[in-house]
Structure formats: structure tokens, C-alpha cells
Amino acid sequence: MKQRRSWISLLAFCLLTAVGAALALAMIFAGGSVALAGHQAEAAQTESSPEPVPRAAPSSTRFTGMITCSRCRGRHKRDSRMSADQCARACVRAGAMYMLVDGDRSYVLVGDNEAVGKFAGQRINITGTRQGDAILVDRTSPLF
């Protein structure tokens, strides 16, 4: 009977040790994340100015190019049985973003994917605001 009891007490000791270690690590990580969040909040408050600086509203510009996806960038797989518009739409459904490609320039399109997706694989005019390598889409229209 004593042998059984030693196995049971060894099992209980191991279980309690594992639970205690898990709780201790959880407390350490929780304390660290709270301290980091507090530090980031303080840094954000000190970096922000007390009164907002008015900025001039960016003006809309017209861009012309071909609508494609950020995965293929206009070079759709030739062995694929899909056309350029089907490939772009499939890539966007899989997580890519629509892009406007014009020669060596390319811009990620931010806005109504449904309106942009109608013109996938086609050259179109886009009216919007450029912010870095992205265009905030206001309107899309076919190229005449």
C-alpha cells in the first residue's frame, strides 16, 4: 500500500508544481504587459501636442492605370486558366489588395473594393487622394 501512496503523492507534487509555475509565469507576463502599456500611453501623451495643428485638406487628383492585385502586380501567371480580371479578383478574395499600375509606378487602392473590382484587369481613371504609395479612392470611371 505504501508504494501506491508514494506514486500518488509524487503525481500530486508534480501537478501542484506545474500549476504553481504556470500561475507565476502568468503573473509575470501580465505585470510586464501592464507596465509596457502604461509606458506607451505616457509616451503617446507626451508626444502629442495640446492643440491640433490645422492642415490643408489634400486635393483629389486623377490617376490612370490598370487595376490589378498586390500579389501579382500585373504579372498574372501565364499557366493559369484565369484571365487577368479573374486572377485579380481571386487574389483579393484571398487577402491581397487592389492596385493601380501605370508603367513603373504602382499604388495600393484604399476605398470601395466593390467599385474598384468592377474594373479589375482594365485601364481606368481613378479620382482620389494620394498618400505615399496609396490612393484613397473617391471615384472610378472607365477610360474612354
User: What's the rounded Cα separation, in Å, for the pair 41 and 101?
Assistant: 39
The model's confidence at residue 19, banded by pLDDT at 50, 70 and 90, is: very high
Is pLDDT at 106 greater than 60 in this prediction?
Answer: yes
Output b/e per residue, 112-139; b: 16+ Cβ within 10 A.
ebeebbebbbeebbbebbeeeebbebee
CA-based R_g, the chain, Å: 28
Q: Beta strand pairing status for 105-110 and 134-142?
A: parallel
pLDDT at 18 over 90: yes
Does residue 136 register a pLDDT over 60? yes
Mean pLDDT for the stretch of residues 106-117? 83
Is residue 16 very low, low, confident or very high in pLDDT (cuts 50, 70, 90)?
Answer: very high
Percent of the chain with pLDDT over 70: 76
User: For position 110, what pLDDT does the model report?
Assistant: 86
Assess whether pLDDT exceeds 60 at residue 4: no
pLDDT beyond 80 at 38:
no
